[in-house]
Chain A
Amino acid sequence: MQPFTTLTGTAAPLLRANVDTDLIIPKQYLKTLVRTGLGQHLFAEIRYDDAGAEKPDFVLNRPLYRAANILLGGPNFGCGSSREHAPWALLDFGIRCVIAPSYADIFYNNCFSNGILPLVLPLETVEAIAAAGNPVTVDLPAQTVTAGGVTHRFDIEPGRKTTLVEGLDEIGKSLANLAAIEAFEAKRGRETPWL
């Protein structure tokens, strides 16, 4: 996984509440066998018209935001389906960081699995960042976002931060506990043998 330290770039505002993962990547694109190539289908239902042409007023189609690498979202971002295709599509488009007031649990976890920082800031701050204009700088080690000369501090769980900053392989990390896993399985076999 690609480590995440600092990121400077363009933040695209999509501030509606409850952006669900069906909206981020519609089901017809879930038939893929790989993790890549989904960026062109990101937000397909609201990004393209029925004939497949770009809708000029959709944020990611506007010249300013076509190369956005940060997405500004509303509350409960990423709700609904567990599809990891949602963060895959964001990443493939070039989005490395989402800034929103709150997230649905599964989407939040899925972002960390893919080196995307789902950053939490109050709605007023997200709106202020949107109003300040670009560029926006996210500094994960320092836990700050800077836009329009104003710096906002954000909180993040230390374990989550380390995972991103170091680009850790989570499976490898868990396998370091292999002895504990084996001991647990032996005990489980005695106490709940039907499992």
Chain B
Amino acid sequence: MSPRTLYDKIWEAHLVATREDGTSLLYIDRHLVHEVTSPQAFEGLRLTQRPLRKPAAILSVADHNVPTSNREAGIADETSRLQVEALEENVKAFAVPYIPLLDDRQGIVHVIGPEQGFTLPGSTVVCGDSHTSTHGAFGALAFGIGTSEVEHVMATETLPQRRSKNMRVHFEGKLPEGLGAKDLALRLIGQIGTAGGTGHVIEFTGSAVKALSMEARMTLCNMSIEAGARSGLVAPDETTFAYLKGRPMAPNGTQWEQALAYWRALPSDVDAHFDKEVVIQVDGLAPQVTWGTSPETVLDVTGRVPDPEQTKSPADKEAMLRALEYMGLVAGTPLEEVPVDVVFIGSCTNGRIEDLRAAATVAKGRKVAVGVRALVVPGSGLVKRQAEAEGLDRIFLDAGFEWRQPGCSMCLGMNDDRLEPGQRSASTSNRNFEGRQGRGGRTHLVSPQMAAAAAVTGHFTDVRRLLGA
């Protein structure tokens, strides 16, 4: 057999049928469901009177719409409440496993899947959410789908798919002090663009990736959708297995041994072919900050707001002028002189325990700058509990941060956590699109360390200075 990539192996192991029209029917092992992209899928099953094929393949939770404070009192916003109630009714009617809103295990789908051991190497994972790519950190083929496809998976446990191309992104070297996986992801997107990975599944390799924790690998794979990729992957290794062992839904006993043997055979073969390769040296990398309204508009924190006069084409110039106007920025301004109004630490990108630890290291013994509102929103109830056991909540509260309940929160502002028009945020989330965090809001994407640094100084700050690195 010719050498195969990790992606090739997962693909071939899930091929149910190859059809006359050239599409492949791919088996789906795991399906995460949340309140926003599922109501019409359940409704579709009802209308066609099709059964839900395999309820046990699903894990469902409400995350996008949920309040992040005082949720014991219920959801005040009526449309949000109705959507969460619709999910609760649907999971009951179709006997789908569900984690209730007030359960400690509740949280963002992409945080709780891995936490519960629901996400496993070599499996296929889908969710009606683009950041499903997160689960690729385990060597699972994981991708976001639309609601019609959610219904398709519910009815058939398969999806018609076309094979993607293989792309390898190799991060070589040692990640400098004060930097995290978010900086790697933003650096990559800055280099290849938001369509750089379109049509491809990216496998992340190299010494810098090998050294990353599972949390950090999830951050990296999470952002692969922002590079346009179908999915991101990291080959499973001892770090992966150590994370999974003992998780509630992970295999145990003899099945654990059997699974381990299977997982160890998953990594890409030596000499496997990649259609596209990118190599990035990370040794001299600086913390990254986005300045515009696309994740590819990113610079070193030591940089300056770019000049539209120095773009390559009239279309680029027009796009930059529009972005600078929306962002309220003037060409040539050092990024470190740009003040922030709001700091958001959380999301499926950076709402895990390690992210909170990294932010707390910076916040410890400091105070949130006057006039800045800073929120910490743990990715799940279990992350919150762990952080509280470590005293991180005290560090944040003493510094003047808000310590909130888990959910998607200000990453997309479907609940009450939103930017006001013109407000500028340093955000650990994944998208700086116009209006993403609230109409007229201005989002700058950064790592948790950089977000905490902005909170305590009131403007973007090279966190390496605060850490004495």
Contact = CB atoms under 8 A, between A and B. Distances in A.
B79 A113 contact: no
A105 B198 contact: yes
Range of interface residues on A (Cβ < 8 Å)? 35 or more
Interface string A68-85: 000000011001111110
Contacts, number: 177
Interface in B28-50: 29, 36-37, 39-40, 43, 48, 50
A174 B122 CA distance: 23
Nearest to B228: A104
B156 A175 contact: yes
A105 B156 contact: no
Contacts of A188: 27
A147 to B, nearest CB: 21
A171 B439 contact: no
A109 interface: yes
Nearest to A188: B27
Nearest to B412: A27
B163 to A, nearest CB: 12
Contacts of B113: none
Contact of A80 (B16, B130, B230, B258): B130
Q: How big is the B interface, by class?
A: 35 or more
Nearest to B259: A194
B85 to A, nearest CB: 10
B22 A157 contact: yes
A45 B145 contact: no
B251 A33 contact: no
B398 interface: no
Nearest to A18: B294
A33 B86 contact: yes
B226 to A, nearest CB: 8
A10 interface: no
B37 A84 contact: yes
A177 B194 contact: no
Interface string B98-132: 00000000000000000000001011000011101
B465 to A, nearest CB: 33
A193 B414 CA distance: 39
Contacts of B146: 82-84, 87, 106, 109-110, 113
Given A82-B128, A174-B160, A184-B27, A158 B148 contact: no
Interface string A174-195: 1101001100110010001111
A29 to B, nearest CB: 10
B267 interface: no
A188 B123 CA distance: 11
A113 B159 CA distance: 12
Contacts of B294: 18, 20
Interface in B318-361: 318-319, 322
A76 B440 CA distance: 23
A177 B23 CA distance: 13
Contacts of A18: 194-195, 294
A34 interface: yes
A33 B255 contact: no
A194 B255 contact: yes
A177 B25 contact: yes
Interface string B291-324: 0001000000000000000000001001100100
A30 B414 CA distance: 8
A75 B195 contact: yes
Which has the most chain A C-beta neighbours within 10 Å: B80, B158, B199?
B158
Interface string B445-456: 000000000000
Contacts of A82: 37, 128-130, 132, 144-146
Given A18-B294, A31-B414, A175-B155, 19 more contacts: A20-B431, A22-B433, A27-B412, A28-B414, A46-B434, A76-B194, A79-B195, A83-B146, A84-B148, A105-B230, A106-B143, A109-B149, A171-B152, A174-B25, A174-B152, A174-B155, A174-B158, A177-B19, A194-B256
Nearest 10 CB-CB pairings of A with B: A159-B21, A194-B251, A113-B148, A84-B146, A110-B146, A82-B144, A31-B79, A76-B195, A82-B130, A84-B147
20 contacts: A16-B318, A16-B319, A17-B319, A22-B435, A26-B439, A81-B130, A81-B412, A83-B146, A84-B40, A104-B228, A106-B143, A110-B149, A113-B146, A158-B22, A159-B22, A162-B21, A180-B25, A181-B27, A193-B258, A194-B255
Interface of A: 16-18, 20, 22-23, 26-28, 30-35, 45-46, 50, 75-76, 79-84, 87, 102, 104-106, 109-110, 113-114, 157-159, 162, 170-171, 173-175, 177, 180-181, 184-185, 188, 192-195
